């Protein structure tokens, strides 16, 4: 079985709630659609969360968000093949996988493409308060090109991404005074 959640931002409470409610097994996959928060501080806090998640004994398939460092930037991560695509993982936490953007995975008989990252509308707030922010939070032009090539060449059943599709943007939840649809100097299109 595949379970999907997102944006836990370093709190395991939503994961514990999911496990209490549905009791995923070691054969199940929990997809977290970005902003997991386990690659945020670079400290023991991250390791503690990873240990706690590992004790839950399911596979965690963590899409990269914008409130966390990309695993490619962290020396302890390695790359391997998993369910038809490439993922990043750490030897100490083999059940926590970060799929590489644009890769296609076979999950429950479905072809699933991953598109991680997003634009941080709170970038300047975070920087002004000494909080973490990463310049490669959004997909690079190379990643976007790879994703588009994959979509052109292959049949896809499911898209796993951090931002939602444009038609589902919850504009009623936007912060006043901040353009949450786009980064500065963009054309006004939703860029995720």
Domain harbouring 57, CATH code: 3.60.21
Burial status of residue 142 (CB atoms within 10 A of its CB: 0-12, 13-18, 19 or more): exposed
Q: How does the average pLDDT of the chain come out, rounded? A: 89
Q: Is residue 187 part of a domain?
A: no
22-26, 74-78, 182-186: the lowest-pLDDT one: 182-186
For 36, the domain range is 2-173
Residues in the chain: 192
Q: In terms of Cα–Cα distance, which of 178, 171, 163 is closest to 126?
A: 178
Q: What share of the chain is helix, strand, coil (3-state, %, to 5)?
A: 25, 25, 50
Q: Is residue 184 part of a domain?
A: no
Q: In terms of Cα–Cα distance, which of 166, 27, 60 is closest to 49?
A: 60
Return d(Cα 128, Cα 87) in angstroms, integer: 33
Q: Is residue 80 part of a domain?
A: yes
Q: Is residue 178 part of a domain?
A: no
Q: Is residue 179 part of a domain?
A: no
Half-sphere exposure of residue 94: CA atoms within 13 angstroms, side-chain side: 5
Is 3 in contact with 24 (CB distance < 8 Å)? yes
What's the pTM? 0.87
Domain count, the chain: 1
pLDDT 10s digits, 44-97: 999 999 999 999 989 999 999 998 999 999 999 999 999 999 999 999 999 999
Is 140 in contact with 191 (CB distance < 8 Å)? no
Q: Is residue 180 part of a domain?
A: no
Q: Is residue 49 part of a domain?
A: yes
Q: Is residue 190 part of a domain?
A: no
């Amino acid at each position: 079985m595949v379970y999907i959640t997102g944006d836990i931002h370093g709190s395991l409470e939503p994961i514990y709630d999911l496990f209490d409610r549905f009791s995923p097994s070691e054969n199940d996959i929990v997809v977290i659609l970005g902003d997991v928060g386990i690659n945020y501080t670079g400290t023991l806090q991250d390791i503690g969360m990873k240990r706690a998640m590992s004790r839950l004994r399911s596979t965690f398939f963590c899409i990269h968000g914008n409130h966390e460092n990309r695993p490619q930037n962290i020396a302890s991560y390695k790359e391997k093949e998993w369910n038809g695509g490439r993922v990043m993982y750490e030897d100490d936490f083999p059940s926590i996988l970060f799929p590489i953007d644009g890769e296609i995975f076979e999950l429950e008989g479905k072809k699933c493409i991953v598109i991680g990252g997003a634009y941080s509308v709170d970038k300047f707030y975070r920087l002004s308060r000494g909080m973490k922010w990463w310049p490669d939070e959004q997909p690079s032009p190379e990643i976007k090109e790879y994703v588009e090539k994959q979509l052109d060449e292959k049949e896809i059943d499911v898209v796993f991404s951090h931002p939602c599709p444009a038609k589902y943007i919850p504009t009623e939840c936007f912060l006043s005074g901040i353009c949450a649809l786009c980064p500065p100097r963009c054309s006004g299109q939703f860029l995720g």
